[in-house]
Structure 1
Amino acid sequence: MTLVSSTPMLQEARKSGYGIVAFNVHSFDMLYSVAEAAAEIDAPVIIQTTVGTVQNLGPDSIVKTALAASEKYDIPMALHLDHCTDLEVIIQCIRAGYTSVMIDASMYPFEENVRLTNQVMDIAKHIDINVEAELGKVGGVEDNIVVSEKNAEKAVPTECKEFIHRTGVPTLAPAIGTAHGIYSGDPDIDFDRIEEIANLVDEPLVLHGGSAIPEDDVKQCILLGMAKMNVSTELKNAYSEAIKEHFSEMPDSLDPRKYLAKAKNVAKELAKKKMILVGAAGKASEIKGKAFPNRYKLDSVRV
């Protein structure tokens, strides 16, 4: 397959009661570890990059690598730009071939969030890409976006319904008590709030801060309507710890092929565990034959 929009993938996941994991990757090696994991358990998957990773690796190179991986492993795969506040970066990634983007205007008042999200939707409605927005404020650190615990703010269910009505955004990330990074204790997830939001909107909901959430909590979130779960810190840490362990045990073993192979394998096994947890294993074959809308080039769109 080629890269596809995550919209139909996530709509199918929500309708069928399972989730799709979106993994933040920071290197091409990490990208391939996630793609290989998905292929081994026949799971659809979303590859995510932060703005920092886009600046480091370049959007064109990221897209070419993701395309190669999606074709090699023949699984439904989307490529998503995570937590972006800059319209120019969003346009740059869309032009390069990203199939999903997130406009994060959650730090602004509701009306400004609507306005900025509609700027992206005015572009996206001409082409087949997914758009994700956020309501409320998810705490923690994600790339260069920092939200302190006291400034974290849960989404208001009625505002979620109004926001989707006024923007038409196909996926929404409501803040419900999770946080980016690794938790010092158990997360304070507001399950009643998730259920209330899910009862008001049909669109797939996104669970941010998915690293190290207790398994039972993850399953409950998926059951209530979360169709996408983001995993970043846990994957990055596992990959990096494997490299640290290699040099701790064999400080003179400097062949990158050896220590990167270990890191890739650790990341792959973690990715498989997360995809199995949300019920995505075996779902790639089920949705592969479903029709995905054709991609259109952004060149014809005036922005």
Structure 2
Amino acid sequence: MPNVTFKNLNGQGITMAAVINVPAGFDESKQYPAVVVSHPGGGVKEQAAGLYAKKLAEHGLISIAFDRSYQGESSGEPRQLENPYISTEDVSAVVDYLITLPYVDSDKIGAMGICAGAGYSANAAINDRRIRALGMVSAVNIGQMFRNGWDGSVKDAEALPYIEAGTHARTADARGNDMAVMPLAPMKEEDAPNNELRGAWEYYHTPRCQHPNAPGFTLARCLTQIITYDAYHKAEAFLTQPILAVAGSNAGSKWMSDDLLARAASTDKTLHIVEGADHMDLYDVPRYVDEAISKLAPFFLTKLK
């Protein structure tokens, strides 16, 4: 599992950090299909993305888990920026890197992600035809989640105060104040609004999977981009690639997987339900992750032929 760094060609002067996984018996003189794996919002490559990437490699795929710009071991200031447009472009930046590797078949590249990383992967697939197949685990369209709520019950217009809060934060930032932050997952157990999101606190802030590069928050200024962002924009016209979405039967976020599949132009799209799992269970609970991989690995191996 070599750690690599490479320049992001999207104009921000970013150096990306990633981990490449190769299958058993890897032969650098041959070419393999490859999958880009994007981490959840607030996460890093050493957590869920790295776990899925490692397991995909065990099934014969090259996989690469990376830290998004401004996060983890990737460079960029200010730290913990979660601009969804940049996060989408990061997926294509990793594809830019993969096609330079002699052992990657540039005609056989897929993308997948977990949580917000799944949304960013979908948006990248809409924009980038080099992505030939899309996998999603506990998909979150980060714009929908912030403006419509975890369960989709809030109307768009009711999110206007969040845009205003982001606007005020940007003004304060410009005037030299300390940059305001906001949580991407509950920072304290008592902040969790329900048991499912208590799992997010546990994942990021306890020995379950905490990591020093994943503080679990972003900058308040990002609200001006997040609230109006739609990871599935123009999926009705341009998302024609094969899609596999994996979601837990008990996941409050499942509606965002349903929405993508309903909107996508693809005629090859499948939803696999993991019975008994909630959103966070699919990050690291072995039996649920193994079930997800049992669908994702054959999907990519078949679609990236």
Structure-2-length-normalised TM-score: 0.32
Higher share in strand: 2
Q: 1 or 2 for the larger relative contact order (CA 8 Å, sep ≥6)? A: 1
Higher share in helix: 1
